[in-house]
Amino acid sequence: MLVLLAASAAPTSAQLPSASTGALGMGGNFTAAARGFGAVAWNPALLASSRNEMASMTLLTTMGGAGIGPIELSDIADYSDRLVPEPVKQEWLDRVPVGGAERGTVNADLTWGAAQIGHFGLQVSSSVRTIADLSRDVLQLILFGNIDENGNPASLEFAGSSLDLAAYTTFAGGYAHPFEILPGMRLLVGATAKYTVGHVVITGDDSRGTATGTGFNVAFPIVNSVIDPDSFTLNNGGGFGFDVGAALEMGPWTFAAAIENVVSTFEWDMDDLRFRPLTLEAVEARLVADTEERPFDAAPESLREHVEELGFKRSVSLGAAYRPSSMLLLSADLRHGSNDGIVTDATSHLGAGVEYRPIPWLPLRAGAAAIQFGEDNAGYQVGGGIGVNLGGWNLSASALQRDTELYGGETMFMATIFATGLP
């Protein structure tokens, strides 16, 4: 079961994911440093940056990431071909605090294309976001059965497990306009309009049940979009979103601010959703299960409300960038968002990044940030990357490692195989 969670459970990037590999390499500190097509997602005001080329574009930029913790995939791999000793299983269980959970995350983004022409920008990207939490008592049942560390029957409560999976595609267009304030000082303002189509949703946040020495019962009600091949559709929800941004260019300095989802109307189409109770009960030495599909209206009220909230929330970003020469770029970001809805990034972020070119065609990138998911789960992330710019053609790759106190690590990789028009 743990291996299954590690392989299939799965947050980073926003509703409109970054099309810039350099942003990941700089630790996600890009609000004031974005250029060209990368500005559509990061800060639309920078579509009018004086540092842009006349046009830039990228095709088929990919990002993937996964993590599991606090029992990590490396722990499980150590015992892939042998039984896990009892003391090791107990040490694993002790990593999960009472009331906590084992969490698995998987993210995937594919930017089909992004382009900047003058002060206009376009981007089309598809994303998958998944978070799965396995409560401590469920984990204990998997590791030990319903007995305690002394071999006695244990009473377990199965509340606290959850699953959120969403797949969607976002179409975005942005525009920015510059205003000359003083010689050498320009104010840039911009906006991005987005339309997101929801493809697939599977969600459950109301697990319950008990296990005693005489048996168990467990329920994990879920809501999912129709998955029958005969009636499956790629359009199971949708809505508009609007981002705004501003930037002030002062010589080598750029100061920037952006608000994602000033307005967001995205919602899932309830008529296309189904409810499954997913119950399993041990009754008189036999198992009784209920997995039958039912109309969405049959779902518990709390689960229906959760689905209604499963959209994209507002986030605010502040940034500064300093470019003393074409060889060096320094940046810093401060961001704050919501832990509700479809979680696409840390709820808070404070970090800095650097891009250095020892030779003009070889950008080297690094960055780090202190992050937080919710009130009680702080951590950090560290990124790095490299690029090659030859003849107007850009190749680049970046990686980022994220670790948090409650849920361990998550690793992300991003690659661009074709981009052009970036300095």
Q: Where are the domains of the chain?
A: 2-420
CA angle 141, 146, 151 (to 5 degrees): 120
The predicted pLDDT at position 45 comes to 98
Q: In angstroms, what CA-CA distances link 357 with 46, 49, 329?
A: 22, 20, 9
Q: Locate tokens 């009754």: which residue?
A: 283
Helix, strand, or coil here: 339?
Answer: coil
Question: What is the C-alpha separation between 349 and 123, in angstroms, rounded?
Answer: 25
Of 30, 5, 32, the closest CA to residue 20 belongs to 30
Give me the amino acid identity at 163. L
Return the exposure string of 174-209: e unless at least 16 CB atoms fall within 10 Å of the residue's CB, then b: bbbebeeeeeeebbbbbbbebebbbbbbbbbbbbbb
Question: What is the C-alpha separation between 298 and 329, in angstroms, rounded?
Answer: 55
Contact 39, 45 (CB under 8 A): yes
Question: What is the C-alpha separation between 18 and 373, in angstroms, rounded?
Answer: 20
Return the exposure string of 297-331: e unless at least 16 CB atoms fall within 10 Å of the residue's CB, then b: eebbeebbebbeebbbbbbebbbbbbbeeeeebbb
The predicted pLDDT at position 285 comes to 67
Contact 195, 240 (CB under 8 A): yes
- Regarding pTM above 0.85, the answer is yes
| CATH 1.25.40 applies to domain 2-420 | no
Of 64, 76, 74, 69, the closest CA to residue 106 belongs to 64
Question: What is the C-alpha separation between 380 and 382, in angstroms, rounded?
Answer: 7
Q: DSSP E strands: which ranges in 75-119?
A: 101-117
The predicted pLDDT at position 316 comes to 96
Residues in CB range of 415: below 8 A, 6 or more apart: 21, 61, 62, 396, 397, 398
Over the chain (423 residues), the average pLDDT of each successive run of 10 is 35 75 96 97 97 95 90 84 87 86 90 97 96 87 76 78 93 97 95 97 86 78 83 88 97 97 94 89 76 90 90 94 96 90 83 97 97 84 94 91 82 91 73
Contact 368, 381 (CB under 8 A): yes
